[in-house]
Amino acid sequence: MGPQHPSTHGVLRLILELDAETVHDARVGIGYLHTGIEKNMEFRTWTQGVTFCTRMDYLTPLFNEAAYVRGVEQLLGITDQIPDRANVIRVMMMELNRIGSHLVCTGTGGMELGATTVMEFGFRERERTLRVFELVTGLRMNHAYFRPGGVAQDIPPGTIDLLKEELPLLKRGIRELEALILENPVLKGRMVDVGYLDLTGCMALGVTGPMLKATGLPHDLRKVDPYFGYETYDFEVPVRDTCDAYGRLAVRFAEMWESIKIVEQCMERLERNPGPVMVEDKKIAWPAQLAIGGDGMGNSLDHIREIMGESMESLIHHFKLVTEGFRVPPGQVYSVVESPKGELGCHLVSTGGTRPHRAHFRDPGFNNLQTVAAMCEGAQVADVIVAVASVDPVLGGVDR
């Protein structure tokens, strides 16, 4: 089944042994979207690496960046020096990204069951988060916005106003989606008790995220191993105890509401807490914050004036930092963040140079996709579609 099957999105192959409509054996064939991102990162500076890893799981680019950047900062020993404002911006952007990812999962999952309206609603609401991303980073996805030491630049004027405008509409849209599907008898008929995987199975296969939370275990790295100041935010870890596709859907909806709560707390903090968004150490910090010049583009005019006309030292420093990059002390680190799919980890090895000796990612989709056999064997072919959709695998992250 696949990769041409509509529910496998052109990049996942399932090898099924069938007896009429009953699945006897299920295996997953991956590798259709392998990009060599991890190997490429060995040939780029630590800052340039963000541009590569953001493209792995392309529905959660900011989480890929967060795991990598957190690892680099731990190797540099500057975790405590990151400005508060930078961390608040990171948290806000990640939680908006979490909402967007869950909306795509819900929308595409609905369409795979034949409900095109669910797809339309899901993508309509995700568009609201993308508008914010585009305003802040200049791009709708693949942002390369998180950088070692902070973020590429501060949020532009009007960001909070846009959020105040979009969030009420986003809440209304999510409520409409919930009303449309959560108690829908047709949807419940397709999802309740389908794709069953209990806590024991999740633990054996290293499954995390909504799949684990749907078994009743509230394991969330934002609570268990807080980062970027998550311990200072008020939110809950939603769980269900159904262990099925329906429970995973319900967890994702509950997570979206918690993310909105966090975003609202971030907005309040950003309004009352101006400040820098990049670490003070000029040997690490990117040389200039972007500013719109008279030509509608360009870097900070003060910075350009200094490096082009006033200070040879500044010009040399700028040139070396941008072309060669900063050095990271020898060592290795494994840093983790809670992505919408589960535990996203990044293992970095440094030999003291300006490039990673090794960068390897633990994408939650890779582990979660191993559950397909356990969930599908003995079920019907139609249930395979539901089970795979409930995993929410993004093959860009699985294959890398």
User: Tens digits of per-residue pLDDT, 98-137?
Assistant: 999 999 999 988 888 888 888 999 999 999 999 999 988 8
pLDDT band for 146, please (50, 70, 90 cuts). Answer: very high
Average pLDDT, the chain: 89
**pLDDT exceeds cutoff 80 at 17:** yes
Question: Can you point out the beta strands (E) in the chain?
Answer: 13-19, 22-29, 146-147, 150-151, 331-339, 342-350, 358-362
Q: Which two tokens stand for residue 184?
A: 């829908």
What is the reported pLDDT for 12? 87
Type of residue found at 367: N
Q: b/e string for 234-245 if b means 16 or more Cβ within 10 A?
A: ebebbbbebbbb
Q: Tell me what pLDDT residue 46 has.
A: 92
Phi, psi of 19 (to 5 degrees): -120, 100
Q: Rg of the chain over CA atoms, in angstroms?
A: 22
| Amino acid identity at 336 | V
- At residue 378, what are phi and psi to the nearest 5 degrees? 95, -10
Q: How confident is the model at residue 5 (pLDDT cuts 50, 70, 90)?
A: confident
Judge if the upstream peptide bond of residue 3 is cis by omega within 30 degrees of 0. yes
pTM (two decimals): 0.92
Residue listed under structure tokens 């709560």: 261
Q: Beta strand pairing status for 146-147 and 150-151?
A: antiparallel
What is the percentage of the chain residues whose pLDDT exceeds 90? 51
Paired tokens of 120: 């339309």
Residue 6: is its pLDDT beyond 80? no
Region 218-227 average pLDDT: 91
| pLDDT beyond 80 at 179 | yes
CA distances from 302 to 127, 299, 311, 320, 367 (A): 36, 9, 12, 19, 49
Confidence of residue 297 (pLDDT cuts 50, 70, 90): low
Residues facing 320 on adjacent strands: none
CA atoms within 13 A on the CB side of 141: 14
At residue 293, the pLDDT reads 60
- The fold of 6-284+326-399 is Cytochrome-c3 Hydrogenase; chain B (1.10.645)
